[in-house]
Structure 1
Amino acid sequence: MEPIDGGLLQNEATQIVSQMSTQQIFECLITAGCINLSPQMDTQQNSAMIVSGGGFGDIWVGQLHNGTKVAIKAWRSNALKDCRLKALKRAAREIYYWSRMEHRNIHQLMGVIIFKDQYLGMVSEWMENGNLHEYLQTHRDADRYRLCIDVASGLEYMHSRSTVHGDLKAMNVLVSSDGIARLSDFDFAVMSEASSLLFTESSNTRSGSIRWVAPEMLVGETPKRTKASDVYALGMTMLEIFTGEVPYPQCRMDFNVLTTVTQGTLPTRPTDRLKDDVQGNAVWRIMLECWDRDVSKRPSAGQVVEILKSHIRSS
């Protein structure tokens, strides 16, 4: 049977190692099944503009030959070289899996390129509305119930493919021009390792994301991202959708959030948007279930979708 990743991890001939050049890593991804978008665009993108940056690289806005606007996530070569072998191989596998995801609520990877002759570039559809957090600030009348279904549906799809998101929050959900929420920015090992985005070396949680991190991940030496921890983050993301604020906004410092969560204090219900009616009560109840400290009692992402759909009236 052909390995699901095209032999990327099993076959020594195509195994990604930290000594490989960006070109070699790119060729490995193409061999594994990722689409080479080079024939469809000018890989120099001289008119492209940087829209955001981070330790792992920069995000540019560019276009294909046919005029389609795209986002190019360019990994810095030195960031790739600084990665440990295990992280680099895992990242390659995750890029491949991302390229194979097709769902209306997943921001799809269109392909990969060698960007400006030196960077490994991941190309995806450009989302004019930005991330969900930004979208809610400028679209006060957005259908927040429908957005919750979008996010939960995207997570259900990922989990059905045995993939954990790992860093779900409104800032990592993009919104299409027609208002559809799509999960993005999956927690790639290479990005976390190369850019020192880890909360601590052993915590396995990104700095700045602790408000969405499940309690079980805040204890122990090697907490692991799981579907259950994703569901906890889903509940917090749904809360964000209704409040327009990060969870625990009264806590200005991450340390205060850590103390609050470990004490078992849950967020306050936003009664102005989640009213005391059948619909509001059902959504608040499912949020509370997502935050259950007993991991086994949390619903699956699919169950969250079912409950939301059964209680939300068609708009």
Structure 2
Amino acid sequence: MLRLQTPQISQRHAAGSTHRRTMPSPIPVTRLLPKDIYPSLDIGACSSPLTKHSQGSTLQVPVQRLHGKVASRLWSSVILWKELRSVQPVGSGGFGSVYRAEYLGETVALKKVKKCTKNKLASRQSFWAELNAAHLRHTNIVRVIAATTCVPADFGDTGSIGTILMEFVGSRNLQQIIYGCAEPLSEDRWLRYSTDIAHGLRFLHSHSIVHLDVKPANVLVSGEDICKIADFGCSLKLDHGCEVSSVSPLLSHVGGTYTHRAPELLKGEVVSPKADIFSFAITFWQLITREEPYTGDRQHVLYAVVAHNLRPSVQHHPVFRSEQGPLCRTILSRCWSGDPCCRPSAQEVLTQLELLRYQT
């Protein structure tokens, strides 16, 4: 536990800032994706350091034959590099860069997970975590098309650990919509966005996957105005009924942005889907208020969230004084409870959001 003096922290709007997560990793250097599997094979088995099993760790990689179009249901461990066209940079982060490209006639997002000079193992672990939900298909989850660690020399990239092809959702995320757009964010719209996120979380949790970095910047918004959860670099695949400590050496990649990170994770306690519910609550509050949740020194915020139950204000914004205010406050207080057992499931959140929709 951090030994800090009790902070005095303002909860008013602050200028946006970028928070970089730290993801140390003890995994062996040799535990990487295998060589590409020939497309005619139906299943390839890869050893994954991010899935904890009692009899070892395996990740089944479904490989669908490619016949001129991108696979719509299964992801492939083969990337047909000669089919990539018009690769244009879109953005970059702590562990990778994202590009827009054309692949087999479809617009895709290409993510290169780069070798981190300070922590190469952490970047490898981030690559593996990105694939935790690769086999899943849901409207509110960004779809993975293909992924591999095998990059041909003529592709001209020696600085990446692996490459992931995903559906191209668009260039907007909720962070940009909340803080970077002058257009109003109506009650109907922020409620619809929140419902999309909750649907995505319910689906992930039903497959024992916890995202662990839910925040506006990791929620993409499509041209149809649908939210899709992206960036699984901090995620975990949990065994059913298995409790895992967030400070376990095997799972030390558990990270996330500190403003959205659940108190039990800050204290090194058990990882569960309820950690995503806490992060959802902070994101839900941001959608309502269009403000930053905290200001002040990072360490002070961490200490206050754990020791003094610091949470964003639910008093000053007009929504909290409206007819919908009491239910909004109830949803928030339950979702960001300091006790994970008191937080609702994603399904319960959806039920509460539906009640809120009736009031609008």
Q: 1:43 to 1:260 in 2, by over 3 A?
A: same
Residue in 1 that maps onto 2:259: 211
CA distance in 1: counterparts of 2:88 and 2:289, whole angstroms: 32
Pairing 1:305–2:316 present: no
Q: 1:43 to 1:296 in 2, by over 3 A?
A: same
Residue in 2 that maps onto 1:5: none
CA distance in 1: counterparts of 2:116 and 2:45, whole angstroms: 18
Task: Give the 5 Å matches for 1:229-240.
Answer: 229-240=275-286
Amino acid at match of 2:134: S
Find 1:103's aligned residue among 138, 141, 157: 138
TM (normalized to structure 1)?
Answer: 0.75
Pairing 1:186–2:232 present: yes
Asked if structure 2 preserves the Cα contact closer than 8 Å seen for 1:169 and 1:233, the reply is yes
What is the identity percentage for the equivalent residue pairs of Structure 1 and Structure 2?
Answer: 23
Asked if structure 2 preserves the Cα contact closer than 8 Å seen for 1:40 and 1:65, the reply is yes
Deviation (angstroms), 1:107: 1.1
Asked if structure 2 preserves the Cα contact closer than 8 Å seen for 1:37 and 1:111, the reply is no
Mean Cα deviation higher: 118-127 or 228-237: 118-127
Residue in 1 that maps onto 2:61: 32
Pairing 1:294–2:332 present: no
Structure 1 residues 178-225: Cα deviation after superposition (integer angstroms, max 9, x where no partner)? 1111111123479xxxxxxx99x9986537x111111122224xx343
* Number of aligned residues: 281
Find 2:303's aligned residue among 234, 259, 269: 259
CA distance in 1: counterparts of 2:358 and 2:33, whole angstroms: 50
Q: 1:35 to 1:170 in 2, by over 3 A?
A: farther
Amino acid at match of 2:221: V
Deviation (angstroms), 1:108: 1.3
Find 2:173's aligned residue among 115, 126, 131: 131
Structure 1 residues 150-185: Cα deviation after superposition (integer angstroms, max 9, x where no partner)? 111111111111111111111111111111111111
Asked if structure 1 preserves the Cα contact closer than 8 Å seen for 2:218 and 2:231, the reply is yes
Highest RCO, 1 vs 2 (Cα 8 Å, sep ≥ 6):
2
Deviation (angstroms), 1:94: 6.0
Look up the SS of the partner of 1:51 in the other structure: strand
Amino acid at match of 1:104: T
Q: 1:247 to 1:225 in 2, by over 3 A?
A: farther
Task: Give the 5 Å matches for 1:32-181.
Answer: 32-34=61-63, 40=69, 43=81, 45=84, 47-66=86-105, 68-76=106-114, 82-83=120-121, 92=128, 95=131, 97-112=132-147, 114=150, 117=155, 120-136=162-178, 137-138=180-181, 139-142=183-186, 143-181=189-227
Deviation (angstroms), 1:17: 6.9
Q: 1:107 to 1:21 in 2, by over 3 A?
A: closer
TM (normalized to structure 2)?
Answer: 0.66
Amino acid at match of 1:155: L
Look up the SS of the partner of 1:211 in the other structure: helix
Runs (4+) of structure 1 exceeding 3 A deviation are 16-23, 25-31, 34-42, 44-47, 76-79, 90-94, 113-119, 187-190, 201-207, 270-273
**Structure 2: stretches of 5+ with no match in the other structure:** 1-26, 39-43, 47-59, 71-79, 237-245
CA distance in 2: counterparts of 1:204 and 1:163, whole angstroms: 14
Mean Cα deviation higher: 127-136 or 281-290: 127-136
